[in-house]
C-alpha cells in the first residue's frame, strides 16, 4: 500500500483490538537465536518489520514459520553470524541481533546504515556493552565485527537509558560467565517483557522494570512459548485518532498502565477516559486543548507518540509546545502538517503549535513510521480528502491502519 486517502470530519465509534507489540516482538525474535531448539511466540503482529526480521533469521540458518499470528522459530542450526547488509539498511533495529549472535557464536558482523563510520552514532552504547563483556570491536571494509572467545559478566553503566543498547546488553550477557549488572538500563515495558521472555526460556534475570538489571549467566536455554502483549504505541495512535476525530471508542487487548503518560495528557487535553484491566474507553467531545509536552524515556511521554500528539494539537484549541528530547528528526512531520493548514513553528528541539480546526485536506508524504500515522490522524480532522503518499513506512508498524480505523467509522482506504 503506497497511498492512503482519508475523508475527514467523521466521528469514531466502536471497539478495536490492538495488535501485538512491534517493539516487544522484534527483540524476542532476536532472542530466539540464543536457544538451540524451538521457541513459540503468540500474538505476533503481521507487519513489515516482523517480515524483515523473519528474513534475517532465515538467512542466518533458522527455520521459521508464521502461522496466522503464531511464530515458530527453530534455531537448532546457525549457518552464519553476519546480518545481511540489505536488512540493516531497511530496518536499523536489526542491530538487536548482534547481542544474541555474539552470545551464541562469539561473533556478530553487521554493516553501517548508509556506510557511515562509528564516530558519534546511536550504536556506541551497544558497542560499549559488548566491550565491557570482553568482546573486541573492529571496523573492516565498512563492516562492524564484534568477536569474543569468551564473554564474562561485568558491570555495565549506561549514560543514557537506551532501549536498544539495554536489549543488546541483556541478550549478550545471558551466556556470559558469572554475573552482569546493567545500571542506567531503560525501563520501557518492552524491556520488562524481554526479561520475562528470557526467564521463560531459562535465563536468570532480576530487576525487570528498574534501572538496574542483574543477569546471572547460564549455559543453555530450553524450548518455550510466550504471548506478546498489545502494542502500546498503536493504542496511543488510536487514542490520538479519536481525540482528533471526536467520538467514543474502546481500545482492548492492552495494558493501560503502560500508556499512563499518554492517558494523563489526553485527560488534560479534554478526553474522558475509563481504564479497565485490559482495555481503555475514550470519549472525546469538542476540540482538544493544546498543552505543553516533553518527550522522555519511560515512564515519561514516549517519543513514538510525539508526532501523533502534534497532529492532535494542530487541530485543537489554543497553543501548545512540544519539546523533543530524544529524536529531533521527529519534527519532519511538521512540514507535512503545514500542508494541511497547520500552524506549527519549529525552534530547535521545540515545536510551537497553534490549534486550528478544521484543517484542510491535501496531498502529503509520510516521512517515517510514526509521522505517517500522525498524518492519518490529522486527516481525520481535515475538511475534504487527505492523500498520504509513501505509506510503506506505516506498514512497518501497523498491520492495517485503514482496516482498524474503518471499523470505527472512519472513511479511509489504501491504494497501491
d(CA 1, CA 119) in angstroms, rounded, equals 36
The per-residue pLDDT for range 388-414, each reduced to its tens digit, is: 999 999 999 999 999 999 999 999 999
Query: Taking 70 as the threshold, does the pLDDT of residue 117 lie above it?
Result: no
| Identical topology for domains 3-19+230-415 and 22-227 | yes
Confidence of residue 249 (pLDDT cuts 50, 70, 90): very high
DSSP-assigned letters across all residues of 33-102: GGSSSEEEEES----HHHHHHHHHHHHTT-EEEEETTEEEEE-S-----B--HHHHHH-GGGGGGHHHHH
Cβ-contact 239, 252 below 8 angstroms: no
**Cα torsion through 161, 162, 165, 168, rounded to 10:** 90
Give Cα 34 distance to the centre of its chain. Answer: 22
From the list 12, 5, 28, 2, the residue with the least C-alpha distance to 229 is: 28
Looking at residue 113, its pLDDT comes to: 57
Cβ-contact 313, 321 below 8 angstroms: no
d(CA 340, CA 361) in angstroms, rounded, equals 6
d(CA 136, CA 107) in angstroms, rounded, equals 10
Looking at residue 121, its pLDDT comes to: 53
The per-residue pLDDT for range 21-62, each reduced to its tens digit, is: 999 999 999 999 999 999 999 999 999 999 999 999 999 999
Looking at residues 187-195, what average pLDDT do you find? Answer: 98
What backbone phi and psi angles, to 5 degrees, belong to 263? -70, -35
Least confident of 29-33, 111-115, 326-330, 372-376: 111-115
Looking at residue 115, its pLDDT comes to: 35
Q: How far apart are the first and last CA of the chain?
A: 5
Residue position matching grid coordinates 538500563:
185
Looking at residue 114, its pLDDT comes to: 43
d(CA 346, CA 332) in angstroms, rounded, equals 10
Cβ-contact 26, 53 below 8 angstroms: yes
What backbone phi and psi angles, to 5 degrees, belong to 272? -105, 125
| Angle at alpha carbon of residue 330, lines to 363 and 405, rounded to 5° | 55
For residue 84, what are the CA distances in angstroms to 93, 110, 146, 157?
A: 13, 7, 15, 30
Least confident of 211-225, 315-329, 386-400: 315-329
Cβ-contact 79, 63 below 8 angstroms: no
Q: At what angle do helices 189-201 and 163-173 cross, to 10 degrees?
A: 10
- 311 vs 327, residue with greater confidence: 311
d(CA 405, CA 416) in angstroms, rounded, equals 18
Query: Taking 80 as the threshold, does the pLDDT of residue 122 lie above it?
Result: no
Cβ-contact 194, 237 below 8 angstroms: no
| Beta-sheet strands, E only, within 85-198 | 107-111, 136-140, 143-147, 155-157, 179-183
Looking at residue 236, its pLDDT comes to: 98
Using a pLDDT cut of 90, give the percent of the chain over it.
Answer: 91
Neighbours of 349 (CB within 10 A): 16
Looking at residue 47, its pLDDT comes to: 97
**Cα torsion through 386, 235, 187, 296, rounded to 10:** 40
Looking at residues 251-278, what average pLDDT do you find? Answer: 97
Q: Where are the domains of the chain?
A: 3-19+230-415, 22-227
DSSP-assigned letters across all residues of 262-331: HHHHHHHTT-EEEEETTEEEEEE-SPPBP-EEEB-STTSB-GGGHHHHHHHHHTSBSEEEEE-SS-GGGG
Fold of 3-19+230-415: UDP-n-acetylglucosamine1-carboxyvinyl-transferase; Chain (3.65.10)
Record the cell numbers describing residue 234, joined without a space. Answer: 498503536
Name the CATH superfamily for 22-227.
Enolpyruvate transferase domain (3.65.10.10)
Query: Taking 90 as the threshold, does the pLDDT of residue 7 lie above it?
Result: yes
Known catalytic residues?
Answer: 116
Q: At what angle do helices 98-105 and 22-31 cross, to 10 degrees?
A: 20
User: Which strand (E) or helix (H) includes residue 347?
Assistant: strand 343-347
Contacts of 394 (CB under 8 A, 6+ apart): 1, 4, 366, 369, 372, 373, 376, 401
pTM: predicted TM-score of the whole model, two decimal places: 0.96
Looking at residues 129-144, what average pLDDT do you find? Answer: 93
Cβ-contact 213, 181 below 8 angstroms: yes
Looking at residues 239-266, what average pLDDT do you find? Answer: 98
Query: Taking 70 as the threshold, does the pLDDT of residue 116 lie above it?
Result: no
From the list 376, 326, 321, 259, the residue with the least C-alpha distance to 1 is: 376
Looking at residue 362, its pLDDT comes to: 98
Query: Taking 90 as the threshold, does the pLDDT of residue 120 lie above it?
Result: no
Looking at residues 250-258, what average pLDDT do you find? Answer: 97
Amino acid at each position: 500500500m503506497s497511498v492512503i486517502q482519508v475523508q475527514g470530519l467523521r466521528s469514531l465509534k466502536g471497539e478495536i483490538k490492538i495488535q501485538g507489540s512491534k517493539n516487544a516482538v522484534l527483540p524476542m525474535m532476536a532472542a530466539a537465536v540464543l536457544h538451540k531448539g524451538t521457541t513459540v511466540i503468540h500474538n505476533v503482529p503481521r507487519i513489515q518489520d516482523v517480515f524483515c526480521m523473519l528474513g534475517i533469521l532465515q538467512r542466518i540458518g533458522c527455520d521459521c514459520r508464521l502461522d496466522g499470528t503464531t511464530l515458530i522459530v527453530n534455531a537448532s542450526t546457525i549457518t552464519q553470524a553476519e546480518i545481511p547488509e540489505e536488512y540493516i539498511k531497511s530496518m536499523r533495529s536489526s542491530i538487536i541481533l548482534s547481542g544474541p549472535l555474539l552470545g551464541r557464536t562469539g561473533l556478530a558482523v553487521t554493516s553501517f546504515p548508509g556506510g557511515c563510520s562509528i564516530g558519534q552514532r546511536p550504536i556506541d552504547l551497544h558497542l560499549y556493552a559488548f566491550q565491557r563483556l570482553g568482546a573486541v570491536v573492529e571496523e573492516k571494509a565498512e563492516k562492524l565485527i564484534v568477536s569474543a572467545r569468551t564473554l564474562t559478566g561485568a558491570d555495565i553503566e549506561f549514560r543514557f537509558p537506551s532501549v536498544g543498547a539495554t536489549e543488546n546488553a541483556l541478550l549478550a550477557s545471558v551466556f556470559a560467565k558469572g554475573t552482569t549488572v546493567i545500571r542506567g538500563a531503560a525501563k520501557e515495558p518492552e524491556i520488562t517483557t524481554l526479561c520475562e521472555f528470557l526467564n521463560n526460556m531459562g535465563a536468570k534475570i532480576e530487576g525487570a522494570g528498574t534501572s538496574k538489571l542483574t543477569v546471572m549467566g547460564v549455559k543453555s536455554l530450553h524450548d518455550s512459548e510466550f504471548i506478546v502483549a498489545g502494542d502500546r504505541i498503536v493504542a496511543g495512535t488510536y487514542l490520538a485518532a479519536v481525540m482528533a476525530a471526536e467520538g467514543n471508542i474502546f481500545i482492548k487487548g492492552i495494558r493501560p498502565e503502560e500508556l499512563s503518560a499518554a492517558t494523563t495528557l489526553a485527560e488534560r487535553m479534554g478526553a474522558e477516559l475509563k481504564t479497565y484491566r485490559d482495555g481503555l474507553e475514550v470519549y472525546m467531545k469538542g476540540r482538544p486543548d493544546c498543552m505543553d509536552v516533553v518527550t522522555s524515556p519511560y515512564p515519561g511521554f514516549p517519543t513514538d507518540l510525539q508526532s501523533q500528539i502534534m497532529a492532535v494539537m494542530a487541530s485543537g484549541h489554543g497553543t501548545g509546545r512540544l519539546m523533543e528530547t530524544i529524536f529531533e528528526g521527529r519534527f519532519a512531520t511538521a512540514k507535512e502538517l503545514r500542508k494541511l493548514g497547520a500552524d506549527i513553528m519549529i525552534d530547535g528541539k521545540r515545536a510551537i503549535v497553534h490549534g486550528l480546526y478544521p484543517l484542510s485536506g491535501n496531498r502529503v508524504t509520510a516521512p517515517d513510521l510514526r509521522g505517517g500515522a500522525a498524518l492519518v490522524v490529522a486527516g481525520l480532522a481535515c475538511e475534504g480528502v487527505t492523500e498520504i503518499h509513501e505509506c510503506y513506512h506505516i506498514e512497518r508498524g501497523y498491520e492495517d491502519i485503514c482496516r482498524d480505523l474503518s471499523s470505527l467509522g472512519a472513511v479511509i482506504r489504501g491504494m497501491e
